Structure 1
Amino acid sequence: MLRDDQLRVFWISRIDYEKNTGVKKHYHDDLYQLLYFIDGEGTIQIEGESYAFLPKHAYFISKRYDHSFYFKSISSTIDIKFDIISEEVEELLKENRLPVPYFIGDSPKLKELFKLSVINFKQPIPLIPYRIDVGFKDILLSIIQENTMSQTSNERLLYSIKNEFHPDFPIVQYLSEHLQSKITLSDISKQFNFHPHYIIELFRKKFDTTPMNFLQSLRIEKSKEYLEFSNFTISEIAELIGLSAPYYSRLFHMKEGVSPTDYREQARTVVGKDILLEEEFSPSLKKQPKISSDL
């Protein structure tokens, strides 16, 4: 199996925790861990220091660092365990110790890695683990670079991670940032001072579709992210992408072939499951002592 020669991801899991549950204190002898907190409320302790869980923040845990979690409400996470093979990269990480927590925003790149792991879980493809290694290494190095550039500001990192969807086409950026609004072709025309016919022609040449069909696709893709990575209701998701709930359900079914509810159920069949990228990954390393909800 082709794997990266500098960094390898051994385990990815999307885990939802119930209220008043968590993970007892433990450590990983030869693995690093990055815990991405999607939403909820709770605390994490690392080497005796306590930190509040903040949505859209990452918590980096070094090898042999004691850590434990406790969740005060229903919470969602993406948990990644990995090892750094390159001594140079490992030294770089040690020299530029990451602050805890670290804001990385919605991080579509990280969520894409989880989606790739799900694809590989359902039907193993030799290239996917390598793509995950390389993709996660890019995320980690980007965080290190941004932290080196500025110890107090994470705006540049947020921009670099989020601003990857056709940065040369500002209309798409505008649409992506205003999904919740009732956008019309006339609104786009006024915003960019272009004739509507010219905008239609731009989209036809670049994407082979109309601006409004493209906007529909953006909304559906964003809603899929909400369905996979949030606990919003279908009605709440519809509102977040600027559609009525009945219309959203019809549009989603037309484009995806299933209802939003069924899509969510399919996506959650892997939540809480261990997605191994190497069979040699020891079960004892991935197990975490959980805290009962009875506490």
Structure 2
Amino acid sequence: MSEVRDLQLKVLWLSGRLYHRHEIVEPHQHDFAQVQLVLSGQEYTDLTQSNGDDSVSVSVFANQLVFIPPYTTHSFHFEHETVVLDVKFDLQADIAGLIEKNASQHIFDVEDVSPFYALLNEAIPAEQKRFPAAALQLDVDFKQLLLSTIFKQQPAESSTHNLDRLIDINTDFPLLKYLQDHYAEPIQLPELAAHFNYSKNYLIRICKRETGLTPMNLLQHIRLKHAQNYLEYTDLSVNDIAIKVGLDANYLTKSFTKTIGTHPIAYRKQSRQEHERNITLMNTFNRQSQPQIKNSVQHPMD
């Protein structure tokens, strides 16, 4: 059976990459589109359209995305350590024209980067072809995020992914939405039931029917997924992460280790090593065509 892919947008390659101070990517172009989402730090991007007449230099800050159309010469340089999610993808002419018509400014703010984090987690089973629709799901999810960002629409709530996928599917469930919005706050079952004017037993029953979990277990899952994202994509300490997700630091460490199977610090190291590798989804994509990263500082010879 041939691999199923989206007809309009096909993800070719993803990478979560750390660029160091003074590193540069020299001018180059390619026949596919590219998005770079800055997760931390700052990227300086120079773009020249295929006609050579339209050149622009932009600074891309954290939680901003730069869209690079096909056949656009571009280069990058970095004056600070910068973490970037890099996605390269094929576009059919119809959707490419629609995006380019509305992407003339190139830079877009991303209010919630967590769905983009989840793309890296989706890409691994897609690359390994663990199930037939894995790459198709990645194509569709990335297309939704890209269009939502460019057309200034809110993407669907997606604080979590695999029970995460279950949570994405059930975003219309009021209890789930409430927990996604308030997970960092102190929440107890009696107050939660009172908020929805339900008895505790009824709230537990409908939550288990919709998600397979009790309300407090669902809240725990959401908190741990946010903790995972903070560990993977920030340098916050475990104590600071615990505060952000509404947990005590010791409890977070114990619960994370028991549920995820590894200590938070070990998880951070392992996930960053995994995400910084390049993920190629199409065998025909020439990885050797990727531009080299150089250091712009010239060191004197000894």
- TM superposition score category, shorter chain reference: 0.7 to 0.9
Taking a change above 3 Å as real, the CA distance of residues 72 and 161 of structure 1, as seen in their structure-2 partners, is: farther
- The residue that corresponds to 2:78 in the other structure is 71
The answer (yes or no) to whether the contact 2:15–2:87 under 8 Å persists in 1 is yes
- The residue that corresponds to 2:42 in the other structure is 41
The AA in structure 2 aligned to 1:68 is: S
- The residue that corresponds to 1:182 in the other structure is 186
Whether 2:5 is the aligned partner of 1:9: answer: no
Counterpart-to-counterpart distance in 2, 1:208 and 1:6:
35
- The residue that corresponds to 1:252 in the other structure is 256
Counterpart-to-counterpart distance in 2, 1:129 and 1:170:
30
Q: CA deviation at 1:165?
A: 5.9
Q: CA deviation at 1:276?
A: 1.0
Taking a change above 3 Å as real, the CA distance of residues 196 and 72 of structure 1, as seen in their structure-2 partners, is: farther
- The residue that corresponds to 1:150 in the other structure is none
Q: CA deviation at 1:71?
A: 3.0
Aligned counterpart in structure 2 of residue 128 of structure 1, from 115, 130, 134: 134
Question: 2:61 is paired with a residue of what secondary structure?
Answer: coil
Taking a change above 3 Å as real, the CA distance of residues 204 and 137 of structure 1, as seen in their structure-2 partners, is: closer
Counterpart-to-counterpart distance in 2, 1:8 and 1:184:
44
Counterpart-to-counterpart distance in 2, 1:120 and 1:209:
27
The answer (yes or no) to whether the contact 2:129–2:135 under 8 Å persists in 1 is no
Q: CA deviation at 1:168?
A: 2.2
The answer (yes or no) to whether the contact 2:127–2:135 under 8 Å persists in 1 is no
Counterpart-to-counterpart distance in 2, 1:80 and 1:7:
12
Counterpart-to-counterpart distance in 1, 2:260 and 2:214:
19
Write out per-residue CA displacement over residues 112-148 of structure 1, whole angstroms, 9 at most, x where no aligned residue.
322122234466655433332233233334445xx2x
Aligned counterpart in structure 1 of residue 209 of structure 2, from 169, 190, 205: 205
Write out per-residue CA displacement over residues 240-277 of structure 1, whole angstroms, 9 at most, x where no aligned residue.
11112111010011112211122222212223322111
Q: CA deviation at 1:293?
A: 6.4
Counterpart-to-counterpart distance in 2, 1:294 and 1:264:
33
Alignment: residue pair count: 283
Whether 2:91 is the aligned partner of 1:91: answer: no
Aligned counterpart in structure 2 of residue 271 of structure 1, from 269, 275, 279: 275
- The residue that corresponds to 1:243 in the other structure is 247
Q: CA deviation at 1:33?
A: 0.6
- The residue that corresponds to 1:230 in the other structure is 234
Taking a change above 3 Å as real, the CA distance of residues 139 and 159 of structure 1, as seen in their structure-2 partners, is: closer
- The residue that corresponds to 1:112 in the other structure is 118
Taking a change above 3 Å as real, the CA distance of residues 206 and 162 of structure 1, as seen in their structure-2 partners, is: closer
Aligned counterpart in structure 1 of residue 220 of structure 2, from 216, 220, 224: 216
Counterpart-to-counterpart distance in 2, 1:215 and 1:248:
13
Q: CA deviation at 1:289?
A: 3.4
Counterpart-to-counterpart distance in 2, 1:141 and 1:159:
9
- List runs of 5+ in structure 2 lacking aligned partners: 49-54, 160-167
Counterpart-to-counterpart distance in 2, 1:190 and 1:99:
47
Further displaced range: 238-247 or 23-32: 23-32
TM-score, normalization by structure 2: 0.82
CA-atom RMSD, angstroms?
A: 2.6
The answer (yes or no) to whether the contact 1:26–1:288 under 8 Å persists in 2 is no
The answer (yes or no) to whether the contact 2:170–2:210 under 8 Å persists in 1 is no
